Amino acid sequence: MNQIFHADFQIGDELNGQVHLVTGATRGIGEALCWSLARAGATVLMLGRDEQALEALYDAIMAESLPEPVIIPIDLETLTLDAAEELAGMIDEHFGKLNGLIHNAGILGSRTPVSQIKSKEWEQVQRVNVDAVLYLTQGLMPLLETTPHATLILTSSGVGAKARAYWGAYAVSKFAVEGLAQLLAEELENTSTTRVFCVDPGATRTAMRAAAYPGETPEDNPTPEALMPFYLWLLSRESESHRGQRVKARM
């Protein structure tokens, strides 16, 4: 699929008036997505745990006279299915549709041998990286299903496709995300217009990448903004024939 995507892709006005929910909205790829979607004319539902950062992003987007975003202050570590279903009801009441759900949020945890993983940290990583993805998907899927040609994006990693020593809870969580994406793609392939993608962003200039690879020179990696044409392509009808695939982001 990456061979079909072209870096000069332009989204045009296809996303104008659409509604997209982005988790991990205030940093890195999530923040870049919020800006790109808003500039494409979409209403962005910005989900994150840092309410102050969400408010600052809201103010910045409004200062550009872009479509008014929505702040959703939720800590994914404590998210329940009931809360996800309540959120879906609120979105349905106010917008009546959801064109895209982008699971971008995630936490790294410690990079230690399996024998040294602490139970509390294991549970925290799985709750944010796996459980919250499942609950949000379950809660919001009925709304995606009633929105023609909606897109569901899950975020993986290189260590979600091939295990790497000392990546512990994070690697296991991304293996789980890959499995969930495959299950969803299989289940929806012949019954729904909702498309499922599992995205490996690759090395990107983010705070998480810097924490994982402290010896790297950040400038050697592309910025989140450089990946946005690829993400917008996934959210557009241009990528429709490639549903259900694991893809690595390309500039």
Q: How far is CA 91 from CA 5, 36, 85, 86, 146, in A?
A: 31, 21, 10, 9, 13
DSSP 222: -
Question: What would you measure as the largest C-alpha separation in the chain, in angstroms?
Answer: 52
Listed range (57-71, 97-111, 213-227) with the worst mean pLDDT? 213-227
Domain 19-248 has CATH 3.30.910.20: no
Identify whether 170 is a catalytic site residue.
yes
CA 133 – CA 177 distance, rounded (Å)? 8
Average of per-residue pLDDT across 77-92 = 98
Which secondary-structure segment (H or E) carries 94?
helix 81-95
pLDDT digits (tens, 9 = 90+) for 23-80: 999 999 999 999 999 999 999 999 999 999 999 999 999 999 999 999 999 999 999 9
Band of the pLDDT at 217, cuts 50, 70, 90? confident
- In sequence order, the β-bridge partners of residue 20 are 44, 100
Look at strands 195-200 and 151-155 and give their pairing: parallel
Q: Where are the domains of the chain?
A: 19-248
pLDDT digits (tens, 9 = 90+) for 174-216: 999 999 999 999 999 889 999 999 999 977 888 887 887 787 8
Q: CA nearest 248: which of 187, 188, 129, 158?
A: 158
- In sequence order, the β-bridge partners of residue 70 are 45
Band of the pLDDT at 7, cuts 50, 70, 90? low
Percent of the chain whose predicted confidence (pLDDT) is above 70: 96
pLDDT at position 89 is 97
Percent of the chain whose predicted confidence (pLDDT) is above 90: 73
Q: Which of 58, 135, 166, 170 is catalytic?
A: 170
pLDDT at position 240 is 81
Residues in Cβ contact with 3 at an 8 Å cutoff, skipping those fewer than 6 apart: none
